[in-house]
Amino acid sequence: MRRIHTETTLARQKVDVMERCNLSLNQFAHFSQSSVAGKMNIIRQQKSPNPFKIRWYQLTRSRVKKSLAQNGDLSPVFEGLNVLEGKVTNTKRQQNEKTVSMEALKKFIELKLPAILKRIEYTVVKSPVNSVSIDEVEIIVAPDLIIKGEIGSKIAYGAIKIHISKNEPFDLQQLQMSSSIICKFLNKKVKCKDEVVIPELCFSLDIFGERMVSAKSLPSGIESEIQEICAEIKRLWPAAA
């Protein structure tokens, strides 16, 4: 009887850990390159999110999304620059956001988009879910765009996640991990039977890193690296109070 009680308790603890271990995809990428102290801070912020946290660069993100949704048409981006140019700022924070937002849009204009985004026709669709579980860690992928098109005789999916941070741009490895997780998310949560996910259409875009990396031809060790990070998240999670 005691053994059954112990096993039940352990099972409940495991379920509790599974429910609590969750990071956004961008947090996951930051976690992978952070110090131990930085990793603990990321977990603490996720456990007790700041309800008053300011969402930066919303106009920039929306204009980049609209451009990508239109096969790379830059008209929405130029319109965004005009809006920002005429925006009146009253505080140092507002001025800083305006300056960085304009810089980000200009960098996107200079970015050479992958040819596949202009080669195929696609529409933007929504998913009823925004996360995927990998090794008992719930990763909130929430792509900025999920795209759906037809390749051959198959309905095909891809997605794009945008990262905008002038001070902490993602490196190549972070972008590769992100695009790999995006691909997993689409395969597990979005596509239906007889539909396909195209790794070449699964992108992690870093504006200030000036890169757009797909899940095509990823390094062979990327999956084990993701698993190691998930194991570390689970190990550190209980201690980050």
Both tokens of 216, joined, read 């095509």
Kindly indicate the confidence band of residue 54, based on its pLDDT and cuts at 50, 70 and 90: confident
Spatial separation of the C-alpha atoms in residues 44 and 237, rounded to whole Å:
8
Q: Across residues 41-57, what is the average pLDDT?
A: 85
pLDDT in tens, 96-117: 999 999 999 999 999 999 999 9
Percent of all residues in the chain with a pLDDT value above 90, rounded to a whole number: 83
Q: What is the pTM of this model?
A: 0.88
CA nearest neighbour of 29 among 211, 220, 192, 239? 211
pLDDT in tens, 144-180: 999 999 988 899 999 999 999 999 999 999 999 999 9
pLDDT in tens, 195-238: 999 999 999 999 999 999 999 999 999 999 999 999 999 999 99
C-beta neighbour count of 29 within 10 angstroms: 26
- What DSSP character marks residue 166? S
- What DSSP character marks residue 217? T
Both tokens of 158, joined, read 């891809």
State the pLDDT at residue 241.
73
State the pLDDT at residue 137.
97
Mutual orientation of helices 75-85 and 58-69 as an angle, nearest 10°? Answer: 160
- In what helix (H) or strand (E) does residue 139 lie, and over which residues does it extend? strand 137-140
Q: What is the largest CA-CA distance in the chain?
A: 72
State the pLDDT at residue 187.
97
